């Protein structure tokens, strides 16, 4: 029984370290959100001598922590910081709806608004297309305005779309394989109703990663010691 428990512990260490390593690797990634490393589930061990034995087993859920990261003022018109628990709807690489906190936006060669990772931003009408040669600004409520800088006199910005914003304060999110977020417990690509907190953005600023590098390093040391103890038991 002691050997079985020790081997099970080694497996949980591996799951924990993979999530923690991903968090640490993204300590400088814009808008990155750390995950809850592991959760406990009751597992019934069947077999000889285990007919009525339940033991806690650690599993990785990779559920997103929306704790805000530091504000980084940039002065760039297309940089936005998503306030509170606001998340931004995106087109995932496979075309599904996904969400992100990364707000370093830009207009690509096709005139479509995307973020620094190349994911297309969703508006109320789908992908947001910017007229050629136009400049874009983003309002606090997510309104996307465009104007022609060659227009005589004072340029008059025109609303062309609104960012697809959702408040995720009451909705658990999990990380997809492509790094974007999905609704935990729902089919991939599912949308969700915005929560009670009003959605908003802060223009000309970005959000830094909410990963605390020192805290993660301490956890890695603790897990290393626990791993050695399991090896000694075996």
The pLDDT tens digits for 180-228 are 999 998 999 999 999 999 999 999 999 998 777 777 777 777 777 777 7
The pLDDT tens digits for 47-73 are 555 555 555 555 555 688 888 899 999
The pLDDT tens digits for 90-100 are 999 999 999 99
pLDDT at residue 17 in the model: 72
Beta strands in the chain (DSSP E): 35-36, 39-44, 54-59, 63-64, 71-73, 80-82, 86-91, 97-100, 105-107, 113-115, 120-123, 126-127, 135-138, 143-147, 158-162, 165-167, 173-175, 181-183, 201-203, 205-207
**DSSP summary character for residue 119:** P
The rounded radius of gyration (Å) of the Cα atoms in the chain is 22
pLDDT at residue 57 in the model: 58
Confidence of residue 4 (pLDDT cuts 50, 70, 90): low
pLDDT at residue 23 in the model: 76
pLDDT at residue 48 in the model: 58
Within 10 A of 159 (CB to CB), how many other CB atoms are there? 10
The pLDDT tens digits for 26-50 are 787 887 877 765 554 555 656 555 5
The pLDDT tens digits for 95-151 are 999 999 999 999 999 999 999 999 999 998 899 999 999 999 999 999 999 999 888
């Amino acid at each position: 029984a002691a050997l079985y428990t020790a081997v099970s512990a080694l497996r949980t260490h591996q799951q924990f370290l993979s999530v923690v390593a991903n968090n640490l690797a993204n300590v400088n990634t814009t808008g990155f959100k750390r995950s809850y490393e592991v959760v406990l589930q009751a597992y019934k061990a069947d077999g000889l001598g285990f007919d009525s034995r339940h033991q806690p087993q650690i599993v990785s859920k990779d559920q997103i922590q929306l704790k805000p990261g530091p504000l980084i003022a940039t002065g760039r018109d297309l940089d936005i910081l998503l306030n509170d628990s606001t998340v931004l709807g995106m087109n995932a690489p496979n075309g599904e709806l996904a969400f992100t906190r990364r707000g370093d936006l830009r207009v690509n060669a096709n005139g479509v608004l995307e973020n620094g990772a190349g994911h297309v931003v969703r508006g109320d009408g789908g992908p947001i297309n910017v007229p050629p040669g136009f400049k874009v600004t983003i309002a606090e409520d997510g309104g996307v305005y465009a104007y022609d800088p060659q227009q005589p006199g004072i340029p008059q910005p025109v609303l062309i779309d609104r960012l697809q914003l959702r408040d995720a304060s009451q909705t658990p999110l999990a990380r997809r394989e492509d790094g974007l977020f999905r609704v935990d417990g729902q089919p991939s690509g599912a949308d969700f109703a915005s929560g009670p907190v009003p959605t908003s953005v802060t223009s000309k600023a970005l959000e830094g990663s909410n990963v605390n590098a020192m805290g993660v390093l301490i956890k890695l040391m603790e897990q290393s010691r626990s791993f050695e103890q399991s090896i000694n038991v075996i």
